[in-house]
Amino acid sequence: MVCVLVATSVVMTAPNLSAQEPSTAEQQNSASEKSNNENSESSQTVSPREGKAIYQELCASCHGGVGEGVPGKFAAPLVGDRPVIDLAKLIEETMPEEDPSRCVGEDAQKVAQYIYDEFYSEVAQARRRPARTELSRLTVPQYRNAIMDLIGSFRYRSRLTPDRGLLVSYFDSRGLNPRRKADEGIVDEVNFHWGTKGPLPEQLINPEFAIRWDGSLIAPETGTYDFILRTNNGTRLWLNNNRVALIDAWVRSGNDQEYRSSIFLVGGRPYPLRLEFFKAKEDPMSSIELAWRLPSGRESIISSRFLTPQRFPELLVPSTPFPPDDRSIGYERGTTISKAWEQATTMAAIEIADAVAQRLPELAGFGEKDPASDIPKVKEFATNFVRRAIRRPLTPEEQTRWVDRHFENSPSLETSIKRVILLTLKSPSFLYLDRNSSAIDAYQIASRLSFAIWDSLPDEQLLQKAVDNELLKPEVQREQVWRMLRDDRAKAKLRQFVHHWLGTTHAVGLSKSKELYPDFDEQILADLQTSLDLFIDDIVESEKPDFRNFLNADYLYLNDRLAKLYGYELATSPIAGTQSAEHAKYHKVSIATDQRMGVLSHPLVLSMYSYHNASSPIHRGVFMTRHILGRRLKPPPEAVAPFSEDLHPGLTTRERTILQTRETTCQACHGMINNLGFALEQFDAIGKIRNDEKGKPIDASGEYLQKNGTLVKFSGVKELSTFLINSPEAQDAFIEQLFHHLVKQPVRAYGTNTPDQLRNRFTDNSFDIRKLIVDITEIACRPAAKPTSADQANLPAVITPNSTSPTEGSSP
């Protein structure tokens, strides 16, 4: 429903636009358009053109080409806050000065609209301002990561191994008595129905026995999870808290067999998990299931993909809710603050101060025996806490103000530490990045690197490199970046980016017509998500993650259900080298690329960009236009509901789409959108291959007019993807989105030719995504380019009034 959604929120008149679009949202687009060939975009925007012609003819000689003024004639720039109607009246009556009658009526209207949209209005001014890096607070995910890693830095840290599943120990007693341990091993998931026999009939001969599962849980997404235990017996679950059970159902009572509890977790991180179970003498049967409901809504047994036998330390997850970050320009960034945010930072600071105070002996490493001798240890902890939080050493004055002072005349150690933490976590030194715009030192580089790659604080090694000033050396920087890229957090951030690029972050609640696609149920949707995740992991985890592989991969991950539904034969051998049952259930299936190739033809992607009962060339086209090619689209001139199939029962989807968008006003954008989407017409609403529709053979031919003016034609996904792989536009789009995902500042703020430099490097490096990240971080560590007057003058004269980002409004 692209048209309808966008059209209802943004109406095509400038004053309304200014009311609804924050001015900051415009800046990025203005900058992005810069490298575009002006003609190709503007040739499609029909309306302002005439106004522009009139302006150039009658006004520009005094007011300048873009209203900047002409010294000696009319020097003041044409900016202000009059509405269009006023401007038109003014022009009609007074302009041009030498002969106001030359611009009246419709012409005055048009030129007024043009002036307003292009440079007069506040929105237009904001749009024309050159991109610059802005002071930014931590985004909400950055805040959470920073807190978790700050507290975590006082605990041990280990890296995730590929082992999956949980460690299991069986006991021949109800009390988990270590001396009665009967056996141990690894299990994939906890989903057992042993009936009357029990798990190990030969070893567990008592009528009573107990089992413990140990390890960690890897949370795939951020949000509130429900954990669900189903059992006929007694059970207890600890998650990310080794002292207080999340679920305590040791006492079985009455008919209760299902126990639920909620917990907020941050995605991409492992949390310690322990599950205990016992069967009492009188319990006739034994069974246990460990399931969850993800924040995105799926409920299932927890698969081994998310379980590891490794034991990780607890993570202090701040659970205070924060207002969402500004995503108006396509990526989350922290350039605005609000009352709600200020309150959230206060509540979170109190929450964390409290949690740290409770765990002080553990974190600061002292016993509770002799509080007097603990003071130096707590002070040392406090100093390290502040230093890591503000990401640089403290000056002596700061040492007094931030730390020492709070230990004088304080009623207790607890109060002292709480004050230090409150001050630190409320301080702009913690909350803001890049706090000094005039100079970049080694500490700022450390922060820029760690936030770009991890969305979190620098670790000790990085800070140490900054102390030594080593980090100012490019080779040391690179070395650190390579080191950081091996960290799980870097992988999580890259994985997240790919979903962002594909628009698959929220594949929730996708449902299809039960009549047409009876097999497409929740389970299939979950399978498809796993299939796509495995595919993305494949590339992200590989030695040289190659951008092109996303588009030209000749394989799919399929399990039995998916293979059956999509008509593939499963290979006999499961994925090698993994221990996971779920992995084993999925097979890497080779596919014929003339039919299906790369991620554009992944069934989940195709299903997402479809209606519930039909494919949608428009959704698919908009997705490719925005996400893959990085083009901006205007909102449609009017809200249009898609034609119902019933009205034109004989037409194919392609024919119906053409019929609906045949008006000239539609064709400005749909000429591009539809012809990209048509190339995927060989896939139906669930991404299944089809050869005909309504008795007519599928026509998957499409075309695309590139920014350089050349038209390319293609038919089917193979030709389309092959074109995209080699398209500088698609490469630029990928680079730019990745840059913004990592750095959260506009790429052009680092120099107008930065995108070109990055693309050249990317090409030279065989499209290695990890090398691209290294290049991006190197640029991000440069001082931001100072906008020159030349930059100003070079601004494009025509900017489409739509600022809709590549990530918004394009999902069905």
Partner 1 sequence: MKSYISRRNFMQSLGLSAASIPLWLNLQSLGFASHANRKQRLVIIFSPNGVVKDRFWPDHEEDELSADKYDFKPILSPLSPYKQQTLVLKGVCDKIKGDGDNHMRGMGCLLTGGELFPGNIQGGSDTPAGWATGISIDQEIKRHFQSRPETQTRFGSLEFGVVVPERADTWTRMVYAGGNKPIAPISDPYAMFNKLYGQTKDRESLKSVLDDLQEDLRKIKEVVSSEDAKLLEEHANLIRETEMELQNDSQSMLNHPVPELESGVRNDNENMPRISKMQIDLMVNSFIGDFSRIATLQFTNSVGQAKMKWLGVEEGHHELSHEPNSNAAAQDKLTKINTWYCEQIAYLVKRLAETPEPGGDGNMLDNTTIIWTNELGEGNSHTLNDIPFVLIGGGLNFKMGRSLHLPRVAHNRLLLSIAHGMGHHIDRFGNPNYCGDGPLVLS
- Tell me which residues touch partner 1 (CB under 8 A): 132, 134-135, 233-234, 241, 243-244, 248, 250-256, 263-264, 278, 280-283, 316, 319-320, 335-337, 339, 342-343, 346-347, 349-351, 353-355, 358, 368, 371, 401-402, 411-412, 415, 418-419, 422-423, 426-429, 432, 435-438
Tokens of 798: 């025509």
Alpha carbons 464 and 477: distance in angstroms, whole number: 12
Q: Is 418 in contact with 357 (CB distance < 8 Å)? A: yes
Of the pair 341, 547, the CB lying nearest partner 1 is at 341
Of the pair 54, 140, the CB lying nearest partner 1 is at 140
Q: Tell the smallest beta-carbon distance from residue 325 to partner 1 (Å).
A: 14
Whole-angstrom CA distances from 160 to 11, 329, 530 are 50, 34, 19
Alpha carbons 310 and 315: distance in angstroms, whole number: 15
Of the pair 318, 630, the CB lying nearest partner 1 is at 318
Of the pair 208, 729, the CB lying nearest partner 1 is at 208
Overall size of the chain counted in residues:
812
Q: Tell the smallest beta-carbon distance from residue 281 to partner 1 (Å).
A: 7
Q: Tell the smallest beta-carbon distance from residue 672 to partner 1 (Å).
A: 36
Report the candidate in 573, 589, 487 with the shortest Cα–Cα distance to residue 531.
Answer: 589
- Cβ neighbours, 10 Å, residue 378: 24
Of the pair 11, 394, the CB lying nearest partner 1 is at 394
Of the pair 254, 650, the CB lying nearest partner 1 is at 254
Q: Tell the smallest beta-carbon distance from residue 127 to partner 1 (Å).
A: 16
DSSP string, 128-140: HSPP----EEPPH
Which amino acid would we find at residue 363? L
Alpha carbons 528 and 391: distance in angstroms, whole number: 41
Q: Is 421 exposed, middle or buried (0-12, 13-18, 19+ CB in 10 A)?
A: buried
Alpha carbons 372 and 378: distance in angstroms, whole number: 10
Alpha carbons 171 and 162: distance in angstroms, whole number: 28
Of the pair 107, 172, the CB lying nearest partner 1 is at 172
Q: Tell the smallest beta-carbon distance from residue 440 to partner 1 (Å).
A: 12
Q: Tell the smallest beta-carbon distance from residue 375 to partner 1 (Å).
A: 13
The angle that helices 339-358 and 140-152 make with each other, rounded to 10 degrees, is 10
Q: Tell the smallest beta-carbon distance from residue 139 to partner 1 (Å).
A: 14
Alpha carbons within 13 A on the beta-carbon side of 145: 24
Give backbone dihedrals phi and psi of 732, rounded to 5 degrees, phi first: -60, -45
Of the pair 151, 492, the CB lying nearest partner 1 is at 151
Tokens of 271: 């949390």
Q: How far separated are the first and last CA of the chain, in Å rounded?
A: 6
Q: Tell the smallest beta-carbon distance from residue 245 to partner 1 (Å).
A: 8
Alpha carbons 303 and 608: distance in angstroms, whole number: 24
Of the pair 252, 493, the CB lying nearest partner 1 is at 252
Alpha carbons 787 and 614: distance in angstroms, whole number: 49
Of the pair 54, 749, the CB lying nearest partner 1 is at 749
Q: Tell the smallest beta-carbon distance from residue 374 to partner 1 (Å).
A: 10
Q: Tell the smallest beta-carbon distance from residue 380 to partner 1 (Å).
A: 20
Alpha carbons within 13 A on the beta-carbon side of 693: 23
Alpha carbons 716 and 682: distance in angstroms, whole number: 7
Going by their DSSP bridges, the two strands 299-301 and 286-293 should be labelled as antiparallel
Q: Tell the smallest beta-carbon distance from residue 417 to partner 1 (Å).
A: 10
> H or E stretch including 309?
none
Alpha carbons 135 and 437: distance in angstroms, whole number: 8
Q: Which residue has the tokens 């998990």?
A: 273
Q: Tell the smallest beta-carbon distance from residue 295 to partner 1 (Å).
A: 16
Q: Is 22 exposed, middle or buried (0-12, 13-18, 19+ CB in 10 A)?
A: middle
In angstroms and rounded to an integer, the radius of gyration of the C-alpha atoms of the chain is: 30
Of the pair 335, 722, the CB lying nearest partner 1 is at 335
Q: How far is CA 327 from the centre of its chain?
A: 10
Q: Tell the smallest beta-carbon distance from residue 544 to partner 1 (Å).
A: 39
Of the pair 418, 489, the CB lying nearest partner 1 is at 418
Of the pair 95, 317, the CB lying nearest partner 1 is at 317
Of the pair 444, 653, the CB lying nearest partner 1 is at 444
Q: Tell the smallest beta-carbon distance from residue 405 to partner 1 (Å).
A: 9
- Cβ neighbours, 10 Å, residue 65: 14
Report the candidate in 599, 592, 538 with the shortest Cα–Cα distance to residue 567.
Answer: 592
